[in-house]
């Protein structure tokens, strides 16, 4: 089974508010992107890696891969204007014999082999995809014009993370149509009737959105 990791790193990082795109903001001694890139490259589950880089940052992405001796990186493509567009561009680099795509947010630096194994396993059991998720710790409300309209039952609700794994054929079909409103890959696969399994997520897969998140992830390194 040939597994292609698509590492989407093309976002601007507006909410982080740095001078560089989020993937190139410092985490420890290196750019944030270095951490997930090194972890995917070292994973025995991953064969090849495509990075969707921020526009203008393709060359620094390749140089970073070289510095890390991340030899599985086969391309740094220019990301699109949305996450879904960036996934589509990266997916186009996967050759026809690529069987599985594992899509991961560079903004979740602390990806582990354990979670990669958990999302890959269901693909051998007839599932079209698998997503790591965590239960919701807080009470969930639906709000309309500042007023709580409803307290939503948490039964059956989870928060989805990445890496998300899919059969390449499934993912290509899902990305062949309209991408508007898609915040993760699974939503596009679900919309076409794909069977996507939920597996145990990891609190350390926290997505770096704000400066406070960056400090938390740095403290976990």
What residues from 1 to 30 belong to the interface with Mg ion (CB under 5 A)?
A: 11
Q: CA 97 to CA 100: how far, in whole Å?
A: 9
Q: For Mg ion, which is the closer residue by CB, 88 or 118? A: 88
Q: CA 166 to CA 155: how far, in whole Å?
A: 26
Q: If contact means CB under 5 to 8 A according to the sort of partner, which of Mg ion, ligand CTP, none does residue 198 touch?
A: none
CB of 161 to ligand CTP, least distance (A): 11
Q: What are phi and psi of 161, to 5 degrees?
A: -120, -170
CB of 13 to Mg ion, least distance (A): 8
Q: For ligand CTP, which is the closer residue by CB, 64 or 127? A: 64
Q: For ligand CTP, which is the closer residue by CB, 12 or 218? A: 12
CB of 148 to ligand CTP, least distance (A): 26
Residue 170 to residues 102, 185, 196, Cα–Cα distance (Å): 12, 11, 11
Q: For Mg ion, which is the closer residue by CB, 107 or 120? A: 107
**104 Cβ neighbours under 8 A, 6+ residues apart:** 5, 6, 7, 8, 36, 40, 111, 162, 163, 164
Q: For ligand CTP, which is the closer residue by CB, 82 or 121? A: 82
**141 Cβ neighbours under 8 A, 6+ residues apart:** 148, 149, 150, 151, 152
3-state secondary structure of 105: strand
CB of 43 to ligand CTP, least distance (A): 18
Residue at shortest CB range from ligand CTP: 11
Q: If contact means CB under 5 to 8 A according to the sort of partner, which of ligand CTP, Mg ion, none does residue 12 touch?
A: ligand CTP
């Amino acid at each position: 089974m040939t597994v292609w990791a698509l590492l989407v790193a093309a976002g601007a990082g507006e909410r982080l508010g740095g001078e560089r795109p989020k993937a190139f903001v410092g985490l420890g001694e290196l750019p944030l992107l270095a951490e997930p890139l090194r972890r995917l490259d070292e994973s025995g589950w991953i064969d090849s890696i495509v990075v969707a880089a921020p526009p203008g940052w393709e060359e620094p992405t390749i140089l970073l891969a070289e510095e890390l001796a991340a030899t599985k990186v086969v391309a740094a493509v220019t990301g699109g204007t949305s996450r879904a567009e960036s996934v589509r561009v990266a997916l186009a680099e996967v050759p026809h014999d690529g069987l599985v795509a594992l899509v991961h947010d560079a903004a979740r630096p602390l990806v582990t082999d354990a979670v990669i194994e958990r999302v890959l396993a269901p693909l051998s059991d007839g599932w079209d995809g698998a997503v790591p998720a965590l239960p919701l710790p807080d009470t969930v409300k639906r709000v309309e014009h500042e007023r709580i309209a409803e307290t939503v039952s948490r039964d059956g609700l989870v928060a989805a993370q990445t890496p998300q794994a899919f059969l390449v054929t499934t993912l290509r079909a899902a990305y062949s149509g309209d991408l508007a409103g898609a915040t993760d890959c699974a939503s596009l696969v679900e919309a076409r009737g794909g069977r996507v399994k939920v597996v145990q997520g990891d609190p350390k897969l926290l997505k770096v959105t704000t400066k406070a998140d960056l400090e938390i992830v740095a403290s976990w390194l």
